[in-house]
Structure formats: structure tokens, C-alpha cells
Amino acid sequence: MRIQAAVLRELGQAFEIEELELAPPKANEVLVRTVASGICHSDYSVVHGVLRSPLPVVLGHEGAGIIEEVGPGVTHLKPGDKVIASLTPSCGQCTMCKELKPFMCSQMGKLLTDCTQLDGTTRHKTLGGEDVYALCGVGSFGSHMVMPAGSAIKVPEDTPLETTCLIGCGVTTGTGAALNTANVQPGEATAVIGCGGVGLSIIQGCRIGGATIIIAIDPMEEKRDLAMDMGATHTINPFEEDPIARVKEITGGIGVHYAFEALGRVETMEQTWGMIRPTGTAVIVGVASLDQSVKIPAAGLLAEYEIQGSCYGSSTPKKDIPRFVELYKSGELKLDEMITQRIELKEINRAFDEMGRGEGARSVIMY
């Protein structure tokens, strides 16, 4: 079928809106009509070469839509089902899936770095017949997506996809980091560095978990204000105050139980170590360039400091995505407030320019 998609042909360049040919789903794949897609910072990282992807590619992985067709062997989904795309295909066969850690599914790399389907081939082609890759095997910057059936998570019929699409990546990554990876408990103290879509989701997870101190750290006033709306109890402008000293001050000199990093910068990852109390944990959610190293002073180890990575919110998508949808419906998880603007696909380059300037929390493309 013919679809409309934003295609990245060269790193650092603008997207071109093109017609592509999308092949039907093969075994254990589904065809989804895209309803909405968030624009995630990881998409931006691919455009700028921080995360690698073959070219040309259809980016976009925070997508939600309606199943139009299922490939052979797909029995848990049918045309008309509403689905949110997850980052992991949850293959169910690999060692990590068998250990009930689908957020570490061994097949994920194929989707994230090869940008193909699980069989190593692509479903998108240019009208001239050239292969086009799709980020995460999803490609939600296109009017239709083919994805592994395990990546498509069914949600109830009354789920508003134009908002809950954010759960596909940013919200699950952030809220899951607080509720699953850290498992924040009532009364605990937390700090969050970076208040974009993921950071705001961490803040919400801390609030839902019952944290009584939630310190939001971001240089942009607009994002600090949003952080307060999402449940932060204190904010810090790191350009005006020393964030470590201020976190210590707010917590009576001892530091927080959990300090989260949601920027993907080595300097701020190292800062988290200075913010935690004895036995506290630095939770690294942001993704740095993979060739960089994080240095931490050994002294903290005597105080049983821990450092913990967090990938995709340590989530089990089949359980957590419907759970976050329910938290949204009950009003506990705020998503509408995180959406700065809704745009058409043809406006995507403007939204990426704004992201480059650090403006807004989330843009959502509506199809």
C-alpha cells in the first residue's frame, strides 16, 4: 500500500515528506493505521547521529493506532484493535524474556539499531524500490506502520490514542524508572535532572509512588513550572544555583533516596552521585553517547551508594502499558499537560527545530 511518511535521508538534514510503498505484514507482524505519534528525544538523537540508524529511515517510535491487518500466526490481535507501539518486541523466546525481563529482550537491538523487522528485512520501500528502514521496526512518522506483533500492545477500546501514544516510549521510560526500576516508596525523597517528556514522567512516577520530596532540576523556567504541575515539590535552576548543594539543603543535609538523570549527559550523570544519601541510588535514565564513560568518586561506595541504569522503565509492556493507560484515565497520570502542541506530519521539521532549542515537552503528530 501507499503511505505518507517523513523520511530521513542524511544525518543532520530535514525530513522529506514522501510517498512510500509499505508491504503487508509477514508472519507474526501487524499492520497498524497510525492515529498519533509523539516526537521523542531519541528520534532527535538519531537525526544528529548520537544514536545510529541505517538510512534512509522512517523515524518515530512513540506511536499508537488501529490494527488494520494481522500477519500469519497472530492470534492475540485483530483488525480494529487499538494498540500502542512498545520499544521491545517481547519475543518470549530469548533468555531475558524467559526471565520475565522483556525490557531487555535480545531481539530489541535488531529493531533499535538495524531498524528492520525481526527477520532482518524492511517493509518500507521508496516508489523506486529502494529499501527504507523503520526505527524500532515501527516508523510512527508514517501514516501506517508494520511492526512485530509483540511490539503492539492492545489497550481498551475507549483509550484516547492521541494522548496515550506518549506511553509508548517517554512515559513508560520515565514513570517506569520511578515505579519499577527504583520502586519509590511513600515518604522517600527524590531528585530529577532534566524535565523534558521523560523527566516529567519520572516526576509523576515519584508522586504516584508517594515520594514526599520531589526536586526538579532544569534551566528552562517553562519546564520547571510544568514540573511543579506534575508533582514536583521543589525546583532548581542549575544555571543559578549549585544543584548538589541545593538538593542537600532541601533534604536537611543528607541527600535524596533516588536521584534520576534524564538528560543523557555525563556531567549530570556524575552529579546524581553527589545528591544521594548513604544507601541511596543514582538512577540513570538518559542515554549518553555509547563511547563515553561515567566517573564516580569511590568514597560514595563506603556509604553504600548505588548506581543503576534504567532501560524502558524496566517495564513489562503487556502489564505496564495498560496500567499507565488506567492511571491516565483515573487522572493520576497527567499526559494532556505534557503535550505542548499537536501538529501535522508536514510540520515535523519545525517541531524538530524547537526540540533542538529545548522548547516544550512533547509535540504530537496527528494523522
Residues at the contact surface with Zn ion, assessed by CB under 5 A: 40, 42, 91, 94, 97, 105, 169
What is 164-229 written as a DSSP string?
A: HGGGGTHHHHHHHIIIIII---TT-EEEEE--SHHHHHHHHHHHHHT-SEEEEE-S-HHHHHHHHH
Q: Report the alpha-carbon distance of residue 122 to residue 115 in Å, rounded.
A: 8
Residue 250 beta carbon to Zn ion: minimum distance, rounded to whole angstroms: 30
- Give the residue with the Cβ less far from Zn ion, 85 or 325: 85
d(C-alpha 201, C-alpha 339), whole Å: 12
Q: How far is the CB of 363 from Zn ion (least distance, A)?
A: 13
E strand or H helix at 356: helix 348-356
Closest separation in Å from C-beta 157 to Zn ion: 25
178 backbone dihedrals φ, ψ, rounded to 5°: -75, -45
Least separation in angstroms between residue 238's CB and Zn ion is 24
Our CB check for Zn ion shows the closer of 134 and 169 to be: 169
Question: Between 247 and 345, whose beta carbon lies closer to Zn ion?
Answer: 345
- Helix (H/G/I), strand (E/B), else coil: 311: coil
**Between 99 and 158, CB nearer to Zn ion:** 99
In one-letter notation, the amino acid at residue 60 is G
Nearer to Zn ion, 97 or 321 (CB): 97
Other C-beta atoms closer than 10 Å to the C-beta of 156 total 10
Give 45 or 126: the residue with its C-beta nearer to Zn ion.
Answer: 45
Place of cell 514522567: 201
With a CB cutoff of 8 Å and minimum separation 6, the contacts of 343 are 350, 351, 363, 364, 365, 366
**Rounded (10°) angle between helices 243-250 and 266-275:** 30
Provide, rounded to whole angstroms, the least separation between the CB of residue 168 and Zn ion: 8
- Minimum distance from residue 249 beta carbon to Zn ion (Å): 34
Residue 26 to residue 20: CA distance in whole angstroms: 18
Q: Beta-carbon neighbour count of residue 152 at 10 Å?
A: 30
- The CB-of-343 to Zn ion minimum distance in angstroms stands at 17
Least Å distance, CB 310 to Zn ion, is 13
Nearer to Zn ion, 91 or 184 (CB): 91
**Of 45 and 341, CB closest to Zn ion:** 45
- Nearest to Zn ion of 40, 256 (CB atom): 40
CB of 64 closer than 8 Å to CB of 131: no
State CA 38 to chain mean position distance: 9
Among 6, 1, 117, 110, smallest CA distance to 58 is for: 6
How far apart are CB 341 and Zn ion at their closest, in Å?
Answer: 18
